[in-house]
Structures are given as structure tokens and as C-alpha cells.
Structure 1
Amino acid sequence: MRIDQREAHAFYINKLTNPFTSVEELRELFMRPVPPNCGQILCTIVRHKSGFNRLWPKYTLHLSDSNKFLLTGKKRSGNTTSNYMITLDQDKMKKGTKGYLGKLRSNFLGTEFYLYDDGDNPKKAKNFDNVRTEHGIVEYETNVLGSKGPRRMKVLLPMVGRDGLQYQFKSQDADNYISKQFKGGRSDNLMFFFNKPPKWNEQVQAFVLNFNGRVDKASVKNFQLIDEFDDNRIHMQFGRIGKQNFNMDVAFPFSIFQAFGIALSSFDFKFACE
């Protein structure tokens, strides 16, 4: 790691963990792309499935080195499709609270997941300024190899401009605007990422990827995301390290909010894929 990257990384981590960083500043840090000169941000997700959380799991995101808490994702009950709330708080998980960042929602089959900020549903919003912004889509393909085969996934994210800000996808006329634009043949202002195909390992009898020591347990949930230009550049990786523990590493142009949402989608049961 170069000195300038090390310093940029340390500065970014300090902002995330400084107790004097305001809620507004934290929101911006989590929702904006990780700075390009920071390298990878190494995180760990803990799954909580005891008691009431057994049916509606809670997931907490921490920095791997310090175990500093960052975000919570909680599967919500009473919804026809899978729905996860993402907040800055470990306990106050309710829309409208100061720490509420947004949500991840799936379609009925669990093949598509939509990531939104804390804005209003376009069908209910009275003011366009209050309409929620779409932060990405995760698509899963049917697994023809069954439970032993790796999942195939595609991620669509808003394009990041030279100013480091993401293109704003929002519409008062249509929900899931990114998906409808892409399926309509338009790909402007979008970035595409795919899971790196794992290789079959005879010794462990499983499909494996090289996580450079960050993942050491085989799981259908494990993945690495690459773009169409460079198979060796890992923008995000996620995988199992224990029964309820998983590592999640993220770098530019992903935001931590986007990466956490994508990881949550990997936990969810996919009726058409498994």
C-alpha cells in the first residue's frame, strides 16, 4: 500500500469511527462511494438468529480490525417479499428515525433485489424532492447445478461522476426505474458488475475463489464482484468465515451502503435459484 493510500485509508476510517462525527456526516460517508484512493475497506458481518431473530435475522456490520460497529440490517416481518431495513443504529430500527438510511427489497421469487435510500415511495410521495433514490439492483440467475453450484449474479449501480457523486436515479412515475431502463435496452448512467466465476476444487469438493485469506469456508453465499474490463480487479468480495460470521470487503466505486445491501441479498433465500 502506498503512503498516500495508507494515509487516505486511515483518514477515512477515522471519520467512520470518530465519536464526534455527526449523524449527517456518517450518512454521507456510508451513502457515497468509498474514495478511490482508499483501497479496500475490510468489514465483517455478524448474523444474529437467536430468539425472534431466528425468523427475522439481524445483521451487524463492523470494521474487521477494530470490530467497530458501522451498520445494522434487519429483515422485516409482515411483508409479501423480503424487505431489509438498513440503519446506523443497533436497536432503533424504524423508518423515520435519524439513523434510518434505506432499505433492500426483493421481488417475489428472490431473483431481483432493489436498494433504496430513505426517500418516499414514488406512488405516495407528494413532492418529487422527497422521492426515494435508487442505489442499485442485484439480479440472480437460476442455478442449473442445484445447491452445489455457484450462484450467478449481476449488479447494476448508478454511474459515478468525476466529482465522486453517483447519478441520481429517481422517478415519480415509475418504481424500480433502473430495472425498467435496463430491460428497455438503455444502459446510460449505469455501471455493471458480475460475480467472478469460481473454479471447482477436487480436494475440497466445492467451487472456490481466491479470497487472499479473507474467506476460509466454502459457501454458496461467497462471491467476488468484477467489472467487464478487468477480471483481476475485485471491487467487492463477501464470504463465510464462521457459522454466523462473514467478511465483506469493499472499494471504489461502491459505497459501504451498497456493499452491505448486496451482502444482505446474498443471505436471503432465493426460491427460483436454490
Structure 2
Amino acid sequence: MSLRKVFRSRKFSKSFMDVNAAVAPALEGGEKKEEAGEDGNAWSGMLPELLREIIRRVEVEEEQWPQRQNVVACACVCKRWRDIAREIVSEPQNNGKITFPSCLRKPGPRELPNQCLIKRNKKTSTFYLYLALTPSFTDKGKFLLAARRYRCGTHTEYIISLDAEDLSQGSNAYVGKLSSDFLATNFTIYDSQRPHAGAKPSSGRSSRRFASKQISPQVPAGNFEVGQVSYKFNLLKSRGPRRMVCSLKCPTTPSGETSDITSPESDKTQSKDQAAPTCTILKNKAPRWHEHLQCWCLNFHGRVTVASVKNFQLVATVDQSQPGGKGDEDTVLLQFGKVGDDTFTMDYRQPLSAFQAFAICLTSFGTKLACE
């Protein structure tokens, strides 16, 4: 399919259309002269400077949302366009953007966190995660994930799905689940997909995706454990917020952090080196007692407006070998707080993914008598 048809089938920005209109006569002349490139069409023979400017403008226009269909369309024109698109367009796993469903399992951005909203439906015990597109708490944003709470004997499960309507483990939209113990103080996060090469499904009845061993060879019957969340007991009923510790399996590059520049060759190398993910330990940031307000306070930078025992901020422990060790108080990796009766904010960053952050926030819902 020619690029002209692609242009007409997509809604490009005005700035890009101005560039397209400016170069159209030159391109038409190129077609008349039959100056075809190596791929057999005139589009591959476009000047490199002009081609880079076109793809750069398309990338800038799709910084936030919607789906990156225009970027994909450019990369599908020919090999030359695809190579230049790789030079300019940052891969989702490196920039923290959420543009495809697979990005929900990728680490968030490094500098500024992704700001999200969680909407709760108490009647159906359902929770919906949205990517915030504006600073307003009333705007719903872009739907990302949904979860529903089920009571399974002595424990509780949250089924997490890409579909807001189909929330079952047998669905193709099934992403993973969250399983708790009887007291709702210890949680295990399961992923439906293999998190790294060599990972084996968790054994045990609670980790199974289906009652039977196998439904289809294409659909794994088991789940893969990717994290645990524990709430500490408050036996003395001392004043203060809940205390929690999270242990997560986060994939890393050989250098220990997400690379800024990748290539097809480096991707192959990273996929082999990511066979053994590191374990990241998070703990809640210690709040401060406010004498005037007579309450425990944390600085949520305007992202939390209602006081609640569910509110928390998570930081990484300085010594990862000590779960109860001191935390890095300066960098908040995940914060969760209440802004309405059934509306909550969720802001996360690297190394957490949207799926992991959502699962951790789900553990905060529900009564925890042993912790309060």
C-alpha cells in the first residue's frame, strides 16, 4: 500500500499535513521520473532530512495518546522508513509510555511518574484503572485495566483483566490475579505470562488459572508469581498508618537499569540477560505527626485530598537484602491516595509497571483489623 493511501486513512496533525502538502509536488515529480528506491517506490527515495522531520513531527504529536497508529504506519512504508523510525521513536520499554497492552507490563518512566486514577464500584466489587490525561480528578482518562474481587473459601482473589466487562481467568483479556490470605495481610501477585526466560508456573491450587491442568496448548494453565505484599501486624493497636513491605521481581538490563538506546542487536542480548530478574523491595514511607492537625501526614504534592488509612507512599529500601531496612525517602516509586468516595490516584514510576502498581494498590482495599 502506498504511503499516500496511508496518509488519507489516518488523521494526521495539521503540522504534519503542512509538511506533506509542501513535499507533495516534489514527490509527484519523483513518481513521474520513476525515481524508485531500493524498495521499488518513490517514497523510499525521499530526502533523509525531510523524512526525519516528518517522523519526528508524527512522534511529537503522539506523545500522550491515542494508539501510536501513525508511527506504526510510517514504519510500515518500507525498510528505509522503518530504520529512521527506530532512530527517532523511543521504544515503550524505555520511555515508560503506555501505548500498547504490552506496555502495561513494562517499567514506568524514570523521571516523572505516570499519573493514573482508580475508580471503585462497591456494588460489584470492581475496580477500574485509567491513565490520567488531564490534571483533573473528574476526567476518567484512558482505560487500562479492571479488577474484580472474589471470595474463594478462606482467601480473597482479585482477577485483573484488559476487558472491563470480561473479568474471568478463562478470558483472552486475562492479565493476572492477586491472592490474599484469610486475614488479608499477605498477598501474592500472579502474572498470566512468563515474566522471563526459564520462569516456571507457581505450584499450588491457588496459583492455577483453570481447575483442570490444561485447557489449550496455547493458553498456560498456571500463573507466574511476580511479587508479594505483606502488611505488618499492629498487635498493640498503636496510632499510625498501615505498615507494608513489597517484594517484586523486576527485569533489568545487564547494567541494572533500563537502557536509553536500544537496537535490534541489543534487544537480543537483553532478552538473554534478563533470564534472572532482580528482586526489588519496597516499604511504605514513614509519615510525620502534625501537631496542629493532630494526624499523620505525608506530602502527596496535591495528588491526594482525602485523609484515609489506605493512603500510602512506597520507597525502595537502601539495602535490598534487608526487607525492614531504611528506605530511600527522596524517591517515591508508588503513591496511592483517596480523592473522592470511590476515586483514588495512583502514581508510579520505574522499576514498577502499571500491572504491578495496580495490584499493589488493590491490596489496600478492604478492612484489615490486625493492622489498624
TM over 0.5: yes
- Give the aligned residue type for 2:299: N
Aligned-residue identity in percent: 35
Q: Provide the C-alpha distance between the structure 1 equivalents of 2:60 and 2:253, rounded to a whole number of angstroms.
A: 20
Residue 151 (structure 1) aligns with: 242
> What are the superposed Cα offsets for residues 128-181 of structure 1, whole Å, 9 maximum, x if unpaired?
x76422121111001256385201100101143117589678xxxxxxxxxxxx
Hey, what does 2:351 align to over in structure 1?
253
Alpha-carbon distance, 1:220 to partner: 0.7
Tell me which residue corresponds to 1:213. Answer: 302
From the superposition, tell whether residues 239 and 130 of structure 1 become closer, same or farther in structure 2 (CA, over 3 Å): same
Q: Decide which structure has greater helix share.
A: 2
**Distance in 1 separating the partners of 2:232 and 2:238:** 13
Unaligned runs of 5+ in 2: 1-57, 73-98, 194-200, 259-270, 319-327
The answer to whether the 8 Å contact 1:133/1:168 transfers is: no
TM-score, normalised to structure 2's length? 0.57
Change (3 A) 1:167 1:205: farther
Query: Could you say which structure has the higher strand fraction?
Result: 1
C-alpha distance after superposition, 1:23-42 (max 9, x if no partner)? xx8442111222436x2000
- From 259, 269, 282, give the equivalent of 1:193: 282
2:225 is matched with which residue?
134
Q: Which of 124, 127, 149 does residue 59 from structure 1 map onto?
A: 127
Tell me if structure 1 keeps the 8 A contact 2:116–2:345: yes
Aligned to 1:49: 122
Question: Counterpart of 1:202 in structure 2: which amino acid?
Answer: E
Q: Displacement, 1:248? A: 0.4
1:233 aligns with 2:307: no
Q: Equivalent residue of 2:362, what SS?
A: helix
Q: What is the match of residue 160 of structure 1?
A: 251
Specify every segment of 5 or more residues in structure 1 that has no aligned partner in the other structure, as ranges. Answer: 1-6, 170-187
Aligned to 2:67: 18
Q: Which one of 116, 119, 122 corresponds to residue 203 of structure 2?
A: 122
Larger Rg: 2
> Scaled by the length of structure 1, what TM-score is found?
0.76
Question: Alpha carbon RMSD of aligned pairs, Å?
Answer: 3.2
Tell me how far apart the structure 2 counterparts of residues 106 and 74 of structure 1 sit (CA, whole Å).
Answer: 14
Structure number with higher relative contact order (C-alpha < 8 Å, ≥ 6 residues apart)? 1
Indicate if the aligned counterparts of 1:110 and 1:272 stay in contact, CA closer than 8 A. Answer: no
Tell me the alpha carbon deviations over residues 227-271 of structure 1, each in whole angstroms, 9 at most, x when there is no partner. 123211010100111111110000000000000000000013224
